[in-house]
Structure 1
Amino acid sequence: MGIPASLLWMLAIISGISVANLYYNQPLLNKISSDLQVSEFVANLMPMTTQIGYAMGLLFIIPLGDLYKRRSIIVINFLLLVISMFSIAISPNMYFVLIASLVTGICSVMPQIFIPIVSQFSKPENKARNVGLLVSGLLTGILGSRVISGIVGEYCGWRAMYYIAAGIMLLCIFIVMRILPDMPSNYKGTYGGLMRSLFTLFKDNPTIRMVSTRAGLAFGSFLALWACLAFKMSGEPFYAGNNVIGMLGLCGMAGALTASLVGSYVPKWGVRNLNYIGGIIMIVSWCIMYIFQDTYLSFIIGIIMIDIGMQCIQISNQTCALSLAPKASNRVNTIFMTTYFIGGSLGTFLAGTFWHLLSWEGVTGVGICMTLGSLLITFCTRR
């Protein structure tokens, strides 16, 4: 029967809104540090704690979508987000902020429940395109959140952003209850059995492991850019302020909006070919940003290209993974996204390390090497 376009678009919008909760803090850390009278190091624990929470949510919350009614899980998570966002807004000290940030990370995983829903209930010919639309919403939320929170924080204070976010999460509860139908669970058994089946899926499906690792390496290359872009742009010859650096996120949004288009080409071009195309685009983008590293134009072009390349790789591999076990789609997505974020964390760590050792040359080397690793897996496999 397929998914109505109105429902698909609403899920894409809610995906972007919910994942944005993870990234509001990044442009606001200096203000949070000053207001709560903590060091920059302590303030930086906030995004780290949020990401740890997100990883926990991926591992322990997403599989529940196969065991319980997904609408109930989504509504409960949004309710907890209302509480955590409001708690951050009124926090008297950093310890309270960190606890609320952990809950925020855990409960911001709803897009990873939406994606299996869309994959499971889409017509086969529309599956990749529809997943691509949700990924567009997801990435637009990630990239746009930094711009929005920077503006709100500058003119209204950092707490205002979290009051607004709490209100948005409350609105999402009513929208989800209205638009999302009840869906039967895919698994009969206990939570312990569900988690054991997760590891069985991982062990018994080499293709799931392969596509997840391949996408994770590419995501590491993608995040290597964003991990060190602020360092690069704040130095010579740019000496750019946070507002200019944040605006570069809009270039990334332009690339992210191609995700739905990329998804429509998965059935035509095949997963393997799109991985070659995406990997080559990413390497070319890194070369442009290295050779012409003293110009804004090179970074604008490079950011757009690296986003397009990333979409080719993520959407093709995620669609492939979800098609391998439709009745265990939430657990498969847990494996995919956990591996994906491990790759992203590795890229962030290596980029930061090599920035200190070799500056932009080191970051470029990390980005190219991780993309080459992804391409090598494609070269050595048949999918």
Structure 2
Amino acid sequence: MPASAAMTTTHAATPRLTAPIILLMSIATGLTVASNYYAQPLLHTIGQQFGLSTTAAGAIVTTAQVSYAAGLLFLVPLGDLLERRRLIVLMTLCSAAGLLVTAFATSIGMVFLGTALTAVLSVVAQVLVPYAATLAEPETRGKVVGTIMSGLLLGILLARTAAGALADLGSWRTIYWVAAILLVLCAAALWRALPASRNPTQLSYPQLLRSIGELFRDEPLFRARAVLGALSFAMFSVLWTSLTFLLAGPDYGYSDTTIGLLGLAGAAGALAASRVGRLADRGLANRSTRVGLLLLLASWLPLAFAPVSLTALIVGILVLDLSIQAVHVTNQSAIYRIRPEARSRLTAGYMTAYFIGGALGSLVSATAYGMAGWHGVCAAGTVLALAALAYEWRTPGAHVPDLPAAAN
């Protein structure tokens, strides 16, 4: 049965967003998703403590992303079934518990366990995004999604800066203790500020999960945008997974704090997210997608000179992160037009593909660095960029009608 057959739309009386709630949701999204990235600038430090190889240390990032993908598939659809405020607060608190497991880890097994637990529950960020899209007015939906996604990408990028700085002040565990406390405080604020909201679905949980596959089957735009999302985030992971090894190695010899500061360079891309969302609201989704993919390809040229030029590295990071954000926000604005009553499941399917791409990118990056160093990493990124451009060019289903978003 098609996913929409047994669904009714959200009531028109749904409470609308205010600026303070948008800000809180952006902060919450950033804090929760950041939990998956604290380890990246610390991989060599954690690896030294537990006697891990470069590839084995990179598996910490892969574990986070695979677990996040599992949470996206099995937990995010609950946003179309359960009362959203309770679900968001509960998942935030459980993610904080996973951070504490990692903070007190006495073995690498506990690090992997804490990483997996935190990641599978930090998908609460992806419950917040479709929730915000539902509360937003149709004519500002792209802008609101872009603003929330700015918080998400800032969380991903600034996680590295915070983790590196706190590691030098204390140990690699310090960021996990601090982050757990912040998530508990965030959960309390969300409980007080968010309006109660429940989508009046008639589907059972198994039917809800099955309907994600039906959405992939029935919606070419959804299918195509999920592939583009996976390829773009794979490039993000290719860069950031191995960047730690380059910067900690003989070419730079940077400390954890200095490595983390490179996240500030990528944060500029996050700040452009709401502007990209406005382009989607104006019906320019195809243009922003094509430009974003071309810039992704171009970013690997300055990145290839990273071992000999810090300036080239920073330019490459700026271009790559801005481009990925442009593609990502456009993708989400596009798929939220399809089935308003199924936005949590659309998010679940899209973001599952997105983070599977990220997990594969991390694996490819660590392997490429081990085999061919930084130039192997850049070659892998270039191949992915060419694949994304070719797919977008040759797939009609990836193209959004150049019209303003429908008022739904």
Q: TM-score when scaled to structure 1?
A: 0.92
CA contact (8 A) 2:146 2:274 kept: yes
For 1:8, the equivalent position in structure 2 comes to: 22
Matching residue within 160, 165, 169 for 2:174: 160
Rounded Cα–Cα distance in structure 2 between residues aligned with 1:32 and 1:216: 28
Cα deviation 1:104-152 (Å, max 9, x = unaligned)? 1111111101110121221222111111111111111111112112221
CA contact (8 A) 1:285 1:303 kept: yes
Amino acid at match of 2:350: F
Rounded Cα–Cα distance in structure 2 between residues aligned with 1:177 and 1:124: 25
Amino acid at match of 1:11: M
Higher relative contact order (CA 8 A, sep 6+): 2
Matching residue within 222, 230, 235 for 1:208: 222
Cα deviation 1:175-226 (Å, max 9, x = unaligned)? 0111111112242231111111111111111210101101211222222111
Between 162-171 and 193-202, report the one with greater CA deviation: 162-171
For 2:138, the equivalent position in structure 1 comes to: 124
Q: CA deviation at 1:268?
A: 2.8
CA contact (8 A) 2:158 2:267 kept: yes
Amino acid at match of 1:71: R
Between 366-375 and 225-234, report the one with greater CA deviation: 225-234
For 1:315, the equivalent position in structure 2 comes to: 329
What's the C-alpha RMSD, in Å, of the aligned pairs?
Answer: 2.2
Specify every segment of 5 or more residues in structure 1 that has no aligned partner in the other structure, as ranges.
none
For 1:285, the equivalent position in structure 2 comes to: 299
Change in 2 beyond 3 A, CA 1:357/1:153: closer
Matching residue within 37, 50, 62 for 1:23: 37
Matching of residue 244 in structure 1 with residue 245 in structure 2: no
Correspondence 1:311-350 to 2 at 5 A: 311-350=325-364
Rounded Cα–Cα distance in structure 2 between residues aligned with 1:289 and 1:47: 21
Matching residue within 95, 103, 107 for 2:117: 103
Cα deviation 1:244-292 (Å, max 9, x = unaligned)? 3221111011221111111111233522111111012122221222357
CA contact (8 A) 1:212 1:318 kept: no
Amino acid at match of 1:54: Y
Q: CA deviation at 1:297?
A: 0.9
Rounded Cα–Cα distance in structure 2 between residues aligned with 1:80 and 1:336: 23
Q: CA deviation at 1:62?
A: 0.1
Rounded Cα–Cα distance in structure 2 between residues aligned with 1:308 and 1:277: 11
Between 73-82 and 92-101, report the one with greater CA deviation: 92-101
Rounded Cα–Cα distance in structure 2 between residues aligned with 1:96 and 1:226: 24
Rounded Cα–Cα distance in structure 1 between residues aligned with 2:383 and 2:43: 31
For 1:183, the equivalent position in structure 2 comes to: 197
Matching of residue 364 in structure 1 with residue 387 in structure 2: no
For 2:152, the equivalent position in structure 1 comes to: 138
Amino acid at match of 1:319: S
Q: CA deviation at 1:379?
A: 1.7
Rounded Cα–Cα distance in structure 2 between residues aligned with 1:93 and 1:348: 22
Matching of residue 295 in structure 1 with residue 309 in structure 2: yes
For 1:40, the equivalent position in structure 2 comes to: 52
Change in 2 beyond 3 A, CA 1:152/1:355: closer
Rounded Cα–Cα distance in structure 2 between residues aligned with 1:364 and 1:273: 26
Rounded Cα–Cα distance in structure 1 between residues aligned with 2:238 and 2:155: 19
Matching of residue 270 in structure 1 with residue 284 in structure 2: yes
Matching residue within 62, 66, 73 for 1:59: 73
Rounded Cα–Cα distance in structure 2 between residues aligned with 1:110 and 1:135: 13
Q: CA deviation at 1:2?
A: 4.2
Q: CA deviation at 1:343?
A: 2.0
Matching of residue 148 in structure 1 with residue 174 in structure 2: no
Specify every segment of 5 or more residues in structure 2 that has no aligned partner in the other structure, as ranges.
1-14, 401-408
Rounded Cα–Cα distance in structure 2 between residues aligned with 1:54 and 1:363: 23
Correspondence 1:194-205 to 2 at 5 A: 194-205=208-219
CA contact (8 A) 2:39 2:60 kept: yes
CA contact (8 A) 1:216 1:339 kept: yes
For 2:367, the equivalent position in structure 1 comes to: 353
CA contact (8 A) 1:23 1:142 kept: yes
Amino acid at match of 2:138: P
Change in 2 beyond 3 A, CA 1:7/1:23: same
Change in 2 beyond 3 A, CA 1:184/1:105: same
Q: CA deviation at 1:34?
A: 6.2
